[in-house]
Amino acid sequence: MHASFPSQDNPLIQKVESVFTFTGDERQALKALPMQLAVIKENEDLMREGDRPSRCCLLLSGFTGTYKVSGGGKRQIVNFGIAGDIPDLHSLHLGVLDNSVRTLTTCQIGFITHEDLRDLCERYPRITAAFWRETLIEGAIFREWMLNIGRREAYSRIAHFFCEMLVRLGAVGLAEDHACDLPITQAELGEALGLTTVHVNRVLQQMRADGLIETKGTQVKIPDWDKLKQVGEFDPTYLHLESDQAAA
Amino acid sequence: MHASFPSQDNPLIQKVESVFTFTGDERQALKALPMQLAVIKENEDLMREGDRPSRCCLLLSGFTGTYKVSGGGKRQIVNFGIAGDIPDLHSLHLGVLDNSVRTLTTCQIGFITHEDLRDLCERYPRITAAFWRETLIEGAIFREWMLNIGRREAYSRIAHFFCEMLVRLGAVGLAEDHACDLPITQAELGEALGLTTVHVNRVLQQMRADGLIETKGTQVKIPDWDKLKQVGEFDPTYLHLESDQAAA
DNA sequence: CGACTCTTTGAATTTTGTCAAACTGAGTGG
DNA sequence: CCACTCAGTTTGACAAAATTCAAAGAGTCG
């Protein structure tokens, strides 16, 4: 609830700047973006399918799950949100939400009104491009997830998941030495990967036995990164973490 | 190869305008967009993962498949392109392509350079928003596909696919009376839905027997739309075909 | 009429799901 | 400090969905 979040540590700016060079003006405008801070407990819906939100959520810390529910009540998590992500940036241009988002852990959130975001984009076309790019990267992650869910068997599917999360968390300073905190339950993992909890559990045991992963509570350690990457057929290109934009 | 494509029938303009009101200036600028026309035969790659294209492909007619390939060589189609789509619009802001696109039928393509697109976006911020929105809708389709592939069994998964294609084709005038031309092989269907050709074939037979679909060559007819929608748990909200934008 | 691609079939196997219950560990209240 | 609770993990036996492999039909095009 404190309004003391230091804007120079804003993980959004940090993340976008890692691939995008802002001018002083642009960075200043981003920092000046009015943001209403809040702390949300775990397992709360931040928004629901069908909502027509008038603001976006910048995730400052914690983990969120973006999900949809099938007719039979089965939940599919389609993305995990980590620090620096705006899980509902698409609501800026799509009136109705076609997905829900809930917190998986306690989350520090910065709410930014669509109005302020639109103003910012209008004044700074390159910031528009940067935000647009963020949504395109999310799309690239979706494509990779479809490949993962549709074509890989459980073992390498789960391996791929760990690879992706480790790289994404590393990019915002939340992973070191091939280790990270990953407060995601086996049930949630199954919901994200199109598997049952039971099957996730059995495969994880096999992966531990094979020395692919080590877990202690929510801490995950990867003893052999190359091996995990190989099992998960992981190539980080789709995360577009390099500054590969053509525009000047 | 003919340069005689009438710009007033440009399916991109038609599609975007169905949810977005352009000013005369904006429409004029869109029509004036230089476009190099080409006809590409079926089963040709328009682009490949790893490419760094300097232009986008506007699909004027025909069908494309956007796909990725797993380590084991299994192909996952992550989206189908139909008239009016720009299957590689994301290449405008992501330097490296993380997917391939190939034609499924003979396609009429309009190539538009990134340079021209960027110029257009710079001059007309609302066109930027319209393009951005298109990529966000694609993302929404990806989310629904993940739900479909991850959580629905083959029977309703395939039903959902037919529902989506019928609605999308209808939106660009390519479906009428719950019938359309869908030149997609059972193998491609399997590649899109995370199923084997054999299994797709068996399920399709069951669906025909149940009176859910009728096929004659590549023509598909839906005798009972409500039933198919129910089986496929289909709710078209995620296609965002209504003009639901908040901005004026 | 081939030559092709696409669809269909059959039998055996594998992966993954289902159901139901027990176990574990962290936090809570008496 | 010790039950007690509760969410999360683990286990076992069984069932179902989907895959694999191999081959035979059908339809289309030159």
pLDDT in tens, A186-225: 999 999 999 999 999 999 999 999 999 999 999 999 999 9
Residue B135: list chain A partners with CB under 8 A: 132, 135-136, 139
Has residue B233 got a pLDDT over 60?
yes
With CA atoms as reference, the chain B residue closest to A190 would be B150
Which member of B70, B129, B152 has the closest CB to residue A147?
A: B70
Is A145 in Cβ contact with B245 (below 8 Å)? no
Looking at residue B168, its pLDDT comes to: 97
Taking a contact as any Cβ pair under 8 Å apart, which residues of chain B between 203 and 232 contact chain A?
A: none
Model confidence pLDDT, tens digit, residues A26-62: 999 999 999 999 999 999 999 999 999 999 999 999 9
Has residue B8 got a pLDDT over 60?
no
Is B133 in Cβ contact with A135 (below 8 Å)? no
Looking at residue B70, its pLDDT comes to: 96
- CA dist B144 and B162 (Å) reads 13
Strand, coil or helix: A29: helix
Looking at residue B244, its pLDDT comes to: 59
A92 CA to chain B: closest CA distance, Å? 8
Taking a contact as any Cβ pair under 8 Å apart, which residues of chain A between 135 and 174 contact chain B?
A: 135-140, 142-147, 149-152, 156
Are B48 and B100 spatial neighbours (Cβ–Cβ below 8 Å)?
A: yes
Report residue B36's pLDDT band, with 50, 70 and 90 as the boundaries.
Answer: very high
Q: Which residue has the tokens 């389709």?
A: B141
Has residue B73 got a pLDDT over 50?
yes
Model confidence pLDDT, tens digit, residues A89-148: 999 999 999 999 999 999 999 999 999 999 999 999 999 999 999 999 999 999 999 999
The answer to whether A158 CB sits below 7 Å from nucleic acid chain D is: no
**Bigger pLDDT: B243 vs B4:** B243
Is A66 in Cβ contact with B147 (below 8 Å)? no
Has residue A85 got a pLDDT over 50?
yes
Least Cα distance to A114 among A61, A32, A52, A47 occurs for A52
Nearest residue to nucleotide D7, by CA–C1' distance, is A185
SS3 for chain B, per residue? CCCCCCHHHCHHHHHHHCCCCCCHHHHHHHHCCCCEEEEECCCCEEECCCCCCCEEEEEEECCEEEEEECCCCCEEEEEEECCCCCCCHHHHCCCCCCCEEEECCCEEEEEEEHHHHHHHHHHCHHHHHHHHHHHHHHHHHHHHHHHHHHHCCHHHHHHHHHHHHHHHHHHCCCEECCEEECCCCHHHHHHHHCCCHHHHHHHHHHHHHCCCCEEECCEEECCCHHHHHHHCCCCHHHHCCCCCCCCC
Which range among A106-120, B21-35, B121-135 shows the weakest confidence by mean pLDDT?
A: B21-35
| Six token digits for residue A215 | 């877990």
- CA dist B169 and B183 (Å) reads 12
> For strand C, which nucleotides have at least one atom less than 7 Å from a protein CB?
5-11, 15-20, 26
Would you call B199 an interface residue with chain A, using a CB distance cutoff of 8 Å?
Answer: no
Report residue A1's pLDDT band, with 50, 70 and 90 as the boundaries.
Answer: very low
Strand blocks (E) in A82-173: 100-103, 107-113
Q: Which residues does residue B107 pair with via DSSP β-bridges, in sequence order?
A: B40
The answer to whether A185 CB sits below 7 Å from nucleic acid chain D is: yes
Has residue B85 got a pLDDT over 80?
yes
Report residue A4's pLDDT band, with 50, 70 and 90 as the boundaries.
Answer: very low
**Looking at residue A41, what DSSP letter applies?**
-
Section A151-164 average pLDDT: 98
Q: Phi, psi at residue A6, to the nearest 5°?
A: -70, 120
Is A245 in Cβ contact with B144 (below 8 Å)? no
Section B41-63 average pLDDT: 97
Whole-model pTM? Answer: 0.95
CA of B107 to C1' of D22 (A): 35
Has residue A173 got a pLDDT over 80?
yes
Taking a contact as any Cβ pair under 8 Å apart, which residues of chain B between 63 and 122 contact chain A?
A: 66, 68, 70-72, 74-76, 78, 90, 93-96, 98-99, 114, 118, 121-122
Q: Which helix (H) or strand (E) holds A57?
A: strand A55-61
**Bigger pLDDT: A60 vs B6:** A60
Would you call A123 an interface residue with chain B, using a CB distance cutoff of 8 Å?
Answer: no
Residue A78: list chain B partners with CB under 8 A: 142-143, 146-147
Report residue A8's pLDDT band, with 50, 70 and 90 as the boundaries.
Answer: low
pLDDT over 90, % of chain B: 88
